[in-house]
């Protein structure tokens, strides 16, 4: 194996879920073993500030993919670049979409603030993510056909069509001059399928979605960050 980069999701891999505390002991293990590992980049639906915080917790500061492929966080510049297909018209439509959904999903979910392009919806208490996703898909398919929807264990993410974690990864790998065969991808949800499916090496914690487990090179016995460490040990120790 010639793995030169680890590319991992956050929720379900580094963290348990939104609203759960970080596993500080597991993060310490990762920091203490960074010299034995390739660089670690993130591929997440989260925005730049959260990505930066997780990189700080890991102790490895690598350019990373945010907002489900809509942005690339450039560490040295402390800035983001947008996916090349995003233009002013798309950004304008995104704002219209947010206004539309804010009214339509009252009492079912709310829009996460602070994102540049991706519109992320979190369900209210008692509402399942998959039900919010199904309802939202019906709302936008006619009104906003140029946008697409995916969901994870915690959120519904809406991005312009043609943008996902796979297309975001393509931009990052081009920047780093890396091929698909030089990356270990780690993810747990269906939103991770577009990038994991392109890679030779891919793994998932025990909490991974069945369709992710089907394509994984390695499926950990442990969940979340303990599963992540198990994956690291399998490939690099």
DSSP 145-197: TTEEEEE-SS-EEEEETT-SHHHHHHHHHHHHT--GGGEEEE--SGGGHHHHT
- Residue 119, Cβ density class (10 Å: 0-12 exposed, 13-18 middle, ≥19 buried): buried
Q: What is the residue-averaged pLDDT of the chain?
A: 96
Cα 237 from Cα 29, distance rounded (Å): 13
Please give the pLDDT value at position 19.
83
Contact 154, 132 (CB under 8 A): no
Beta bridge partners of 67: none
- CA-CA-CA-CA torsion sign (116, 119, 125, 129): negative
Helix, strand, coil shares, percent, the chain, to 5 = 40, 20, 40
Q: What value does the mean pLDDT take over residues 167-195? A: 97
CB 82 within 8 A of CB 117: yes
**Range 148-167 average pLDDT:** 92
pLDDT tens per residue, range 56-97:
999 999 999 999 999 999 999 999 999 999 999 999 999 999
pLDDT of residue 1: 79
Segment 173-182 shows an average pLDDT of 97
The pLDDT value given to residue 87: 96
Residue owning tokens 């194996």: 1
Q: What is the pLDDT of residues 97-107, one digit of tens each?
A: 999 999 999 88
- List all residues 6 or more positions away from 179 whose beta carbon is below 8 Å from its beta carbon: 173
Confidence grade of residue 153 (pLDDT, cut at 50, 70, 90): confident
- Whole-number Cα distances in Å, 97 to 12, 27, 113, 187, 215: 28, 37, 14, 28, 34
| pLDDT at site 46 | 93
pLDDT at 184 over 90: yes
């Amino acid at each position: 194996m010639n793995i030169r980069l680890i590319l991992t999701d956050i929720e379900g891999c580094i963290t348990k879920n939104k609203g759960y505390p970080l596993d500080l002991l597991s993060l310490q293990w990762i920091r203490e073993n960074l010299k034995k590992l390739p660089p670690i980049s993130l591929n997440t639906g989260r925005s730049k500030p959260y990505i930066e915080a997780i990189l700080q917790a890991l102790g490895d500061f690598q350019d990373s993919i945010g907002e489900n492929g809509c942005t690339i966080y450039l560490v040295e510049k402390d800035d983001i670049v947008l996916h090349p297909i995003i233009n002013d018209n798309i950004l304008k439509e995104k704002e219209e979409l947010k206004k539309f959904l804010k009214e339509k999903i009252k009492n079912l979910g709310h829009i996460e603030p602070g994102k540049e392009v991706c519109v992320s919806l979190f369900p209210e208490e008692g509402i399942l993510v998959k039900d919010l996703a199904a309802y939202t898909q019906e709302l936008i398919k006619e009104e906003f056909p140029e946008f697409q929807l995916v969901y994870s264990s915690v959120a519904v993410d809406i991005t312009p069509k043609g943008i996902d974690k796979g297309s975001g990864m393509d931009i990052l790998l081009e920047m780093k001059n890396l091929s698909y065969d030089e990356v270990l991808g780690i993810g747990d949800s269906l939103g991770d399928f577009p990038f994991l499916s392109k890679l030779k090496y891919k793994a998932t914690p025990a909490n991974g979605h069945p369709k992710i487990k089907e394509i994984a090179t390695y499926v950990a016995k442990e969940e979340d960050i303990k599963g992540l460490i198990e994956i690291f040990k399998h490939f690099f120790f």
